Chains A and B, each alone.
Chain A
């Protein structure tokens, strides 16, 4: 075992985004909230339960030719608060950022209150403030305290 060669589990990408340090087991949820399914045409590499010195186990997702926008990063922060985002251009890491749950989530989470105006066809995005008690809907005043990933739009 001592001379086992080191190999890369996922090959590098030329351009795109590497999402590293995703909470182990959440990689598929990250893809879901990015709208990536079996029918979309992104070139992906996914590694789950990779050994990590920092967190024991982690997931990694690499997406070729796509750079994440702020709203997408906000969504990832809700389910993988330790994740880091690396923007890759011509094989080089051009931007490296941690994710941070913003104070206000705009268009990221659906309000669980069926009577909320944000669940209608009005020209607005859902709006939640992040509080210690959960996500607080700034339209109807409800609190979302459970199954936050299940309410991500």
Chain B
């Protein structure tokens, strides 16, 4: 049993597999709907999120627990200048666990140092998002074994925390990682170096057809418009890596497309109807995975 869920790097393979197994059991309806009926989850979201927040709240409700939140940042004590450390200390007195989304990297680590209850990291800046990574792994595992596959990461690999976290988790398995990113948004050299030190093979691509043909899993991330100096340069990059039905004619028949959502233009909506598209199933998987995590820290 873990006290906090801060970074996917903390997890060994057997722990990841055990959590995925637990989520699968929950997904099959085998769980106690009153398991957390006397528990309260403090939901602290310092930046917008729809899926992560709602799936944590849904997971808590499915287990019979309650959720409390601080409202939007604009109506919280943050506008009075309260530190995160103080907020965490206060909410520790109200809730049995805290789920935190924060724009600063390392915020969840800080929170774990001041909290007297478990902290679950729901994304901190461009840093870690461990529950999303478990959802990604779970969705892959529903389609194919996690061993011996080729996983491609496409999009903003510089700032995309979900791509980094997934890559770190995949180093626990016998997986080849392929990357394709717009110029300037490549995976940071220190991340690549660390991944290689962990023994994973990384293949860097610059052509999307070759990239697509190599993969069992294509993990697409949103290219963030705010990283570009103007709309024209954003659209030039964004449209260069658009996933379309035409592109996917080159893919393996069993290849799946994942996206942590929300998407903008990077996946054509016509892809939604293809058997490759698993991103809505991926979003749905947020609930059993987060139920497994809540049981892990509070059960």
Contacts and interface: CB of A to CB of B under 8 A. Distances in A.
Contact of A139 (B85, B109, B190): B109
A115 B105 CA distance: 6
Contact of A123 (B83, B124, B193): B83
Interface residues of B, number: 21
B190 A140 contact: no
A141 B125 contact: no
A118 interface: yes
B190 A115 contact: no
Contacts of A124: 85, 110, 113
Contacts, number: 56
Interface in A117-142: 117-118, 120-124, 133, 137-142
B105 A123 contact: no
B104 interface: yes
Given A115-B125, A122-B85, A133-B190, A139 B103 contact: no
Contacts of B85: 122-124
B128 interface: yes
A140 B110 contact: no
Nearest to A121: B83
A122 B110 contact: yes
A12 B109 CA distance: 48
A115 B103 contact: yes
From DSSP, what is the main secondary structure of chain B's interface residues? mixed
A52 interface: no
A55 interface: no
- Interface residues of A, dominant DSSP: loop
B104 A116 contact: yes
B110 A141 contact: no
A117 B107 contact: yes
Nearest to B102: A117
B155 interface: no
A145 interface: yes
A143 B127 CA distance: 13
A113 interface: yes
Given A115-B125, A115-B126, A140 B105 contact: yes
Interface in A39-96: none
A117 B83 contact: no
A115 B102 CA distance: 11
Given A140-B127, A143-B190, A145-B190, A116 B106 contact: yes
Interface string A16-55: 0000000000000000000000000000000000000000
A141 B222 CA distance: 22
A120 B193 contact: no
B109 A120 contact: no
Contacts of A120: 83-84, 104
Nearest to B86: A123
B193 A117 contact: no
A117 B128 contact: no
Contacts of A143: 190
B25 to A, nearest CB: 32
B83 A118 contact: no
Contacts of A122: 83-85, 110
Given A140-B127, A141-B105, 6 more contacts: A115-B103, A115-B105, A117-B106, A138-B109, A139-B109, A139-B110
6 contacts: A115-B126, A116-B105, A117-B104, A117-B110, A122-B85, A124-B85
